[in-house]
Amino acid sequence: MTPAEFHQRDRSLHPPAHVPAYKTSVTRSPRLPLLTIRQTASEITGPTFGHGDIGALDNDLTLNFAQGGMPVGERMVLHGRVLDENARPVPNTLVEIWQANASGRYRHRKDAYLGALDPNFGGCGRTLTDENGRYHFRTIKPGPYPWPNHVNAWRPRHIHVSVFGTAFSQRLITQLYFEGDPLIPLCTIVQGIPDPSAIERLIAVLDMNASVPMDLLAYRFDIVLRGRRSTMFENRLEGN
Amino acid sequence: MAQALGYLKETASQTAGPYVHIGLAPGAAGFQTFAQELGRIIAPEGVPGERIRVEGLVLDGLGAPVKDALLEVWQADANGIYPHPEDPRVAEVASGFRGWGRVITDFDTGFWSFDTIRPGPTPGRAGKRQAPHISFWLVSRGINIGLNTRMYFPQDQALHATDPVLTSVEHPVRRQTMIATRTAPATYRFDIRLQGDGETVFIDV
C-alpha cells in the first residue's frame, strides 16, 4: 500500500506570516502565495528518532543542567499526548522543549535581561513519545519577561515546543502558555492567532491528578499534528 | 444539526523566537546539556554518493541576512530512497544514512552550510519522477509558521522540465528561486529570500 497524504493544513488556525503588530514579522513574511502541491514521498516521509539519540536525563530540566543544587522556582511536570487530527496517538516521535528560568531569563548568549541566570538550570529538554503518544518532562515554571516589540511588552509564561510527527509535512513548533496567565491577552505573538479557540488550545491546564504531593504540580498539554487521509478511494502515490 | 465530524484541530504554530538555539542547538546558545546534538550528520562517511556542501544566506525583505534562523533539511539517499519505514524501497537505503539535518545561521554573518551527499531522483505521483532535491524547513524570530521550500540542482535541467513541483510554479522565472547555483565542483549556493525581489517559492506542504 502506498502511503496516504496528510489533510491539508487549515491555515485559519495558525498566525499568518505577516502580523503587523509583531514587528519582526513585517520583513520576515513572504508576500506571495504559497505554492500548492500534491504531497509526494518527500512530504509524506520524515526523519525518525530512537532512544540511542537521547540521554536518560534529557527530559528532566531540574537535573539535566544542575551543578550540585536544585533550580529555583515552581517545580512542575509537563505532560500530555501527541495526537493527529484523526485522534490517533503519534508514538516514538521526538518532542523538544526550551524555556526561560523562573526569573524569565534565558541561558543564551544573546539574552541580557536583568533577571538572574540560575546556575542549576539550562532550559532545554527532549524526549520520545511512548507507544500511546504520551510524553512528560520535569521542569520549573518559567517566568514572564519583557521584550522590545513595543513599550512595556511582556511575554506570558511559556515553554517552546518542537514536534516532528512521522512526516516532514507534520513538522511544528509552537509555544504553550499557562492557565490563568493575565499576560496572554496582551501578547502580540499569541494574539496573532486569528481563531480564539486555537489560542485556548495552546494553554496548558493544571492537572492535580498528575501532580505529586509535597513535590510538584502538573500541567497537561496535548499536541495535535496533521492527520492522514483515509485510503478508501485514494489516488495512489504511484500509478493511478 | 448534522453529525459532528469529530476531527481534532491542529495545534497552532508559534514563532521559534530568538532563543531557538537553547532547545535545538544548545551549543550555539552557549552551553552543553546533551551528550549529542541532533541533526549534525546527514550522511556519515561511507554512505555512497557524491559528497557535497550546501550553503547560503537567509535574507529578509530589506535584503539583510537573518542571523537567528534555524533550518532543517530532509532528503533521499543517492538512489532516491528515504530512510523512512513507508518508503517502499527502505530495505535498500544506504546504511547509516539519516537524511535529516539541522543548521543555524551564524550569529555574526547569517551564513549557514551543511555537508551531505547529492540525493537521487525520487518517485513522484502517477509514475512521474522528481528531480533530485533537498526539502527545507525554516523557522526564526518573526516567522510565525515554519516555511517549506525545496532546493534543486542546476545540472538537472532535463529533469526539471518534468518535475511535478517545479512545473507547478506558474511563473517560470520564480522556479529559479528553488534552483541552487554551483559555486565550486561540489559546492552549491542556495540563498533563501523571505520577501521582496526574488522571493523564494514557499510550499504549502
Q: How does the average pLDDT of chain A come out, rounded?
A: 95
Residue-level pLDDT at B32: 84
Q: One-letter amino acid identity for A109?
A: R
Q: Rounded CA gap, B171 and B130, in Å?
A: 19
Most B CBs within 10 A among A5, A6, A27, hence the mutation to make, goes to A27
Residue with cell 543564551: A108
CB-based contact B165 A35, cutoff 8 Å = yes
Per-position b or e across A82-107, b if 16+ CB within 10 A of its CB: bbbbeeeebebbbbbbbbbbbbbbbb
Give, as one character, the DSSP assignment of residue B96.
T
Residue B119 grid cell: 540525493
Question: Quick check: B205 and A193 CB within 8 A?
Answer: no
Per DSSP, B36 falls in state: S
Does residue A237 surpass a pLDDT of 70? no
Name every chain A residue with its beta carbon within 8 A of the beta carbon of B43. Answer: none
pLDDT score recorded for residue A1: 41
pLDDT band at B36 (very low <50, low <70, confident <90, very high): confident
User: Is residue A163 pLDDT above 60, yes or no?
Assistant: yes
Give this complex's ipTM. 0.96
Is residue A239's pLDDT more than 50?
A: no
Contact B152, B163 (CB under 8 A): yes
The beta-strand segments (E) located in A85-144 are: 94-99, 124-128, 134-140
Q: Which of B108, B116, B107 is nearest to B135 (CA)?
A: B116
- Per-residue pLDDT at A235 exceeds 80: no
- pLDDT for B76: 98
Distance CA A190, CA A46 (A): 28
pLDDT at B37 over 60: yes
- Contact between A21 and A138 under an 8 Å Cβ cutoff? The reply is no
Q: Where are the beta strands (DSSP E) in chain A?
A: 35-36, 75-84, 94-99, 124-128, 134-140, 145-147, 153-155, 158-163, 172-178, 203-206, 217-220, 223-225
Which of A34, A42, A189 lies nearest to residue B122, judging by beta carbons?
A42
Long-range contacts, A52-58 (Cβ 8 Å, 24+):
A53/A94, A53/B36, A53/B38, A54/A94, A54/A126, A54/A127, A54/A128, A54/B34, A55/B34, A55/B35, A58/A125, A58/A126, A58/A127, A58/B33, A58/B34
The total of other beta-carbon atoms located within 10 Å of residue A74's CB is 13
Which residue type occupies A1? Answer: M
Q: What domains, with CATH codes, occur in chain B?
A: 45-187 (2.60.130.10)
Q: Indicate the pTM of the whole model.
A: 0.96
Q: How far apart are CA B61 and CA B47, in angstroms?
A: 38
Query: pLDDT at residue A219 above 70?
Result: yes
Is residue A234 pLDDT above 60, yes or no? no
Residues 6+ apart with CB under 8 A from B98: A47, B41, B42, B43, B44, B83
> Are B169 and B201 in contact, with CB atoms under 8 Å apart?
yes
The answer to whether the CB atoms of A10 and B26 lie below 8 A apart is: no
Q: Which helix (H) or strand (E) holds A233?
A: none
Measured distance CA(A205)–CA(A129) in Å, rounded: 19
**pLDDT tops 50 at residue B148:** yes
Query: Which amino acid, A97?
Result: I
Domains of chain A are 47-224 (2.60.130.10)
Residues A15, B98: C-beta atoms closer than 8 Å:
no
The pLDDT value given to residue A165: 98
Q: What is the mean pLDDT of chain B?
A: 96
Residues 136-155 of B with CB under 8 A from A: 137, 139-148, 150
Q: Does the beta-carbon distance from B19 to A110 stay under 8 Å?
A: yes
Report which of B20, B29, B33 is spatially closest to residue A61, judged by C-alpha positions. B33
Calculate what percentage of chain B has a pLDDT beyond 90. Answer: 92
Evaluate whether A159 touches A139 at the Cβ level (below 8 Å): yes
Phi, psi of A23 (to 5 degrees): -60, -35
Stretch 51-70 of chain B: residues touching chain A, C-beta under 8 Å: 60-62, 64, 66, 68
Q: Which of A1, A13, A42 is the best residue to mutate to test the B interface, defined by the most B CB atoms within 10 Å of its own CB? A: A42
